[in-house]
Amino acid sequence: MNEIATIAPHTIYPVSRTDKAPIIRGRLDEPMWNQAARTTRFVSASTGGVAFFDTQAAICWDDEALYVAGWLEEVDVWTTTKERRGLVWEENTFEIFIASDGALYQLSINPAGDVQQLLFIWKDAYTAGGRYDVADLNLAERRPAVVGGDAGPHHRRGQRWLFDEWAMQGLTCASRVSGDLNERHNLDAGWTVEISMPWSGLAHLLDGPSPVAGDRLRIALARNQVIDQMQQQFTTCWSWHTAGDAGLYAPEGYPVVELRS
């Protein structure tokens, strides 16, 4: 097997082009996932410190879609899919953030393959008759929340519309558990995720019609992890890049990825 390159978040990640679209099963056994560069091991999103479970991801593309794979080491894979607080499940999830000048898309997926999607549009980018003033983002009809006012996440740029019922057309995702889901007393190996986001579904995040080699995107990759020890339960976040105090909803800190031919 080839040595797989690992790419640190402060360098530009090369998104390799695949000749053959993956079948989205979560298995990650297509050859493309053994050739694509992987991210460096995720770290504490707030401090950059070592995260105790290994987590890596990889990204590929073709003319149809952007593909993301995630490998998550985990000794006890579980999910209830119910507990949710704030913008994310208060459970173990793999997360993708894609930012553009005006918008931010977040996808969370749990070990059962359940998906939560959020689409944020900066208020200063949403103008009457502008590119976001379209049917699937109509404020009166789609009834978004507002963040950055009373509720976080806050950002110095100001408030954002949050479309929490928006769903990407054509999105396909799968998770696969190596072990026994929700069996809490044996040792699991972990779980993997595989996600296909068609470029057509990403239109609100793109400036042109269809991407070409050389185009760059800002993408953050992260993992929410419940720490459940000593009668306490809280959620920590591990990510490819160190987000620091700004947090994962501050897109200016996201790693840059570049589509390669």
Partner 1 sequence: MTDHWGYSQTDLKHYTCYRANGPIVVDGRLDEGAWRLAPQSPRFEDLQTPGRPALLDTWAKLLWDDDYLYVGFWCAEPHLRGTQTERDCMICRENDVEVFIAGENAYFEFELNSLGTIMERFYIWQDAYVTAGYDQLAEFDLLAPGIIDTLGGAWSGHAHPRGRRWCFRNWDMPGLRWAVDLQGTLNDDNDVDVGWSAEIAFPWTGLTHLADGRGLPPRQDDVWRMDLSRFQWMEEAGRRICPGWAFNSHDVYDSHIPEKFTYIHMSEQEVSTATAMQAVIEEAGE
Query: Cβ distance 219 to 98 under 8 Å?
Result: yes
Question: Which residue from 51, 66, 87, 205 is in contact with partner 1, where contact means CB under 8 A?
Answer: 87
171 binds partner 1 (CB under 8 A): no
Q: How far is the CB of 75 from partner 1 (least distance, A)?
A: 29
Among 24, 112, 139, 203, binds partner 1 (CB under 8 A): 139
Closer to partner 1 by CB, 113 or 144: give it. Answer: 144
Residues contacting residue 134 through CB under 8 Å, at least 6 positions apart: none
| Interface with partner 1, residue 244, by CB under 8 A | no
Q: Which of 10, 143, 184, 216 binds partner 1 (CB under 8 A)?
A: 143
> How many residues make contact with partner 1 (CB under 8 A)?
21
Q: Is 159 in the site for partner 1 (CB under 8 A)?
A: yes
Choice from 85, 135, 208, 231 touching partner 1 (CB under 8 A) = 85
Alpha-carbon gap, residue 218 to 104, rounded angstroms: 10
Q: Does 164 bind partner 1 (CB under 8 A)?
A: yes
DSSP secondary structure letters along 109-156: E-TT--EEEEEEEEGGG--TTSTT-SGGG-HHHH--EEESSSSS---T
CA dist 57 and 208 (Å) reads 26
Structure tokens at 74: 């985990």
What ranges make up the beta strands (E) of the chain?
Answer: 6-7, 13-17, 38-39, 43-44, 55-61, 65-73, 84-85, 88-89, 93-99, 103-109, 115-122, 145-147, 160-163, 172-178, 190-198, 216-229, 232-239, 256-259
Is residue 245 involved in binding partner 1 (CB under 8 A)?
no
User: Which region, judged by CB under 8 A, interacts with partner 1, from 18-26, 41-49, 93-101, 123-131?
Assistant: 123-131
Q: Which part of the chain contacts partner 1 (CB under 8 A), choosing from 48-56, 146-154, 167-175, 233-241?
A: 146-154
Which range in 62-70, 85-93, 176-184, 215-223 contacts partner 1 by CB under 8 A? 85-93
Q: Please give the residue ranges that form the binding site for partner 1 (CB under 8 A).
A: 84-87, 126-128, 139-141, 143-147, 149-152, 159, 164
